[in-house]
Amino acid sequence: MIESLFPNVDWDKMWEATYETIYMTAMSTLFTFIIGLVLGIILFLTAPKQLWANRIVNWLTGVFVNVFRSIPFIILIILLIPFTSFLIGTIRGPNAALPALIIGAAPFYARLVLIAFQEIDKGVIEAARSMGATTWTIIRKVLLPESKPALISGITVTSIALVGYTAMAGVIGAGGLGTLAFLDGFQRSRPDVVLMATILILIIVFIIQFIGDALTKKADKR
Amino acid sequence: MIELKQLTKTFDVGKTTLTAVDDVNLTIADGEIFGIIGYSGAGKSTLIRILNGLEKPTSGTVDINGQKITDIKGAELRKARQKVSMIFQHFNLLWSRTVQENIEFPLEIAGVPKAKRVEKVKELVELVGLAGREHAYPSQLSGGQKQRVGIARALANDPEVLLCDEATSALDPETTDAILDLLVDINKRLGLTIVLITHEMHVIRKICHRVAVMEGGKVVELGDVLEIFQTPKQEITKRFVAQVTESEDSSETIKHLRELYPTGELVKLVFVGEQAEQPILTQLIRKHPVEINIVQGKVSHTQRGAYGTLILQLKGTDAEIRQALEFLNQENVQAEVMAND
């Protein structure tokens, strides 16, 4: 039945593209999480009256985050072509999409991390200081665990945005369901291919949302 | 011993400078429960935060058991903080940790190995009366229980000094008393010095040995709790004392009593310490031909003894009443004819 509904779908290609999309999303989510977290911590701790209060570092990080968060993703990919070809050695394929995906998403996640930290009760940080905690201990044992639900729901949102970004990256030949939908589907006028790629992307998004929600709920002991 | 010398802290607020703590000098003895009372904005919060180095004073020094807290920083200050712990108005527990894990937190910071941490937590949980709740999360506890966790956490590294930052202000009266009893118990059992700040005279009355009254960043009155209750000197101190001695001094009440007892004189007696336990009234009526009628009375207990007030209606001739008052004054009972205005 499925064969008759999707006559033009080459399933081998479809599964390979799905795998590529999942690969790009997973890798970029991982690096976005790490880089975004580091940027978020710097933004939070260098703000006025915080433990590392430093106007210059705070301003520079803020500018970096705001600039890369504001550039439309499709333009960012093009701007980063020289950087990508230097780093990866090619500008085609799933790996070549990663630098743009990470640089586009990490500043966005950094903002969410900052908001998550700002939601933490200041008194808890003060209590940790009053016990003689180092700043490193405060990051590891207060900031991160106390904002865990917000950090998880933040990375869930970011990861879903990244699924969308991978599809856009497909237009310039990153591979994945975006490329397949665009080249095999749109340009060859095969709407069933576009539809199937869309369904698979939706399934990926739903799975990410489901896992994210479950983890957020589990982490929240409030 | 804690010594505060010429402690001053100013904040720049826009173009103006706010003096939060203004030339404070205090000496707090080992094992003492010392209270600092003031309204919000009096500088008491800033003062208590200077004691563990959370705030740096603009000038002056704090010396705790021979260590100048105001001169040290970095690792040395962090080490010193383990001996000067703190509990908070809003408890400041980590919601992501269980009771057990919250109490373990300061021990983790101090680098105590896991087995020892577990042992210590067990002991502390018993001490604060939370046995059986070790694996609960803070969200599952009542306010009083949360403060018990706060206290256990503060005691984990065997501190010499416990700072209490409005520790009972978020609790209902009954829970407040239970937590105050726990603090007294800890003070006696562990010989710990307690410095607390509050805006409730009830807290001072119930557990403190000495009290400093703060207003506008300055300590305006300092003394033994009983002494402060007996003879408050400053206007602000009188207001705080009135918080617990309640309505009996207000002109409304006096007027009302006058109407109820129109004859004779209304006399207010203040008993302090041992006198509160003496049969002074018996002696009064045996020796003097006055009639007495008890209108109102109350005895409060402080850590330094009892403190009582009694309002009497005295009937007799003017001379008899005068003699009766003289007798009371000889017995060192403060007797005062209530103004008839």
* Cα torsion A185, A187, A188, A190: sign: positive
Q: End-to-end CA distance of chain A, in Å?
A: 49
| Chain mean pLDDT for chain A | 92
With 80 as the cut, is the pLDDT of residue B251 above it? no
pLDDT at B52 > cutoff 60:
yes
**CA distance to partner chain A, nearest, from residue B291 (Å):** 59
Interchain contact, A146 vs B94, CB within 8 Å: yes
Please tell me the distance from the alpha carbon of residue A94 to that of residue B81, in angstroms, as a whole number. Answer: 52
A192 has a pLDDT exceeding 80 = yes
- The answer to whether A131 contacts B139, with C-beta atoms less than 8 Å apart, is no
**Is the Cβ pair B106, A131 closer than 8 Å?**
yes
- The residues, ordered by sequence, that sit 6+ positions from B119 with a Cβ below 8 Å of its Cβ are none
b/e burial code for range A179-213 (CB count within 10 A of at least 16 → b)? bbbbebbeeeebeebbebbeebbeebbeebeeebe
- Model confidence at B249: pLDDT above 80: no
| CB neighbour list of residue B312: distance below 8 Å, 6 or more residues apart | B266, B267, B269, B292, B293, B294, B295
Question: B179, B169 in Cβ contact below 8 A?
Answer: no
Q: What is the pLDDT of residues A134-185, one digit of tens each?
A: 999 999 999 999 999 999 999 999 999 999 999 888 777 788 898 888 888 8
Phi and psi at B263, nearest 5°, equal: -95, 165
| pLDDT at residue B250 tops 70 | no
- Per cent of chain B over pLDDT 90 is 63
Identify the three-state secondary structure at position B254.
helix
pLDDT of residue B276: 66
Which residue type sits at B53? G
Half-sphere exposure of A107 (CA within 13 A, CB side): 19
- Which has the higher per-residue pLDDT, B190 or B300? B190
Burial class (CB in 10 A: 0-12, 13-18, 19+), A51: middle
Distance in Å, alpha carbon of A25 to nearest chain B alpha carbon: 29
Cβ pair B139:A222 closer than 8 A: yes
Residues of A in contact with B108 (CB under 8 A): 137, 141
Mean pLDDT, chain B, whole residue set: 89
Residues in chain B: 341
CA distances from A206 to A29, A53, B134, B198 (A): 16, 40, 38, 53
ipTM reported for the complex, 2 dp:
0.87
B67 touches chain A (CB under 8 A): no
Q: Which domains does chain B have, with CATH numbers?
A: 2-244 (3.40.50.300), 247-337 (3.30.70.260)
Average pLDDT in the B36-62 region? 93
**Single-letter residue type at A43:** L
Query: Which of B328, B307, B340, B139 has its CA nearest to residue B227?
Result: B307
Of B92, B96, B105, the CB nearest to A221: B96
Beta-carbon-side half-sphere exposure of residue B254 (alpha carbons within 13 Å) = 13
Percentage of chain B beyond pLDDT 70 is: 96
* B206-222 average pLDDT score: 95
Beta bridge partners of B291: B315
Task: Give B 68-97 residues with CB within 8 A of chain A.
Answer: 77-82, 85-86, 88, 90, 92-97
Best of A49, A50, A131 to mutate (most B CBs within 10 Å, chain B): A131
Please return the burial class of B218, using the count of CB atoms within 10 Å of its CB with bins 0-12, 13-18 and 19+: middle
Question: Across chain B, how many H-helices and E-strands are there?
Answer: 12, 14
- Residue A41 dihedral angles phi and psi, to the nearest 5°: -65, -45
More confident residue, B337 or A40: A40
pLDDT in tens, B280-326: 888 888 888 888 888 888 777 888 878 778 888 888 888 888 888 88
State the pLDDT at residue B247: 52
Residue A197: enclosing H or E segment and its boundaries? helix A191-219
Q: Look at residue B248 and tell me whether its pLDDT is greater than 70.
A: no
- Burial of A16 (C-beta count, 10 Å sphere; 0-12/13-18/19+): middle
Q: What is the pLDDT of residues B270-285, one digit of tens each?
A: 877 776 667 888 888 8
List CB contacts of B270: < 8 A, sequence separation 6 or more. Answer: B230, B307, B308, B309, B333, B334, B335, B336
What pLDDT, on the 0 to 100 scale, is given for residue B302? 82
Do the beta carbons of residue B56 and residue B137 sit within 8 Å?
no
**pLDDT band (50, 70, 90) for residue B113:** very high
Answer yes or no: is pLDDT of B192 > 60: yes
Residue A30: pLDDT over 90: yes
Tell me the pLDDT tens digit for each residue of A43-100: 999 999 898 999 999 999 999 999 998 999 989 988 988 898 888 888 788 888 899 9
Look at B78 and A94; give whichever has higher pLDDT: B78
Check residue B26 and give its pLDDT: 95
Q: What local confidence, expressed as pLDDT, does residue B318 receive?
A: 84
Q: How confident is the model over B201-211, as a mean pLDDT?
A: 93
What pLDDT shows up at residue B332? 77
- pLDDT band at residue A5 using 50, 70 and 90 as cut-offs: confident
Mean pLDDT value across residues B36-57: 93
Local structure of residue B161 (DSSP, 8 states): E
CA distance B77 to B17: 28
| pLDDT confidence of residue B271 | 79
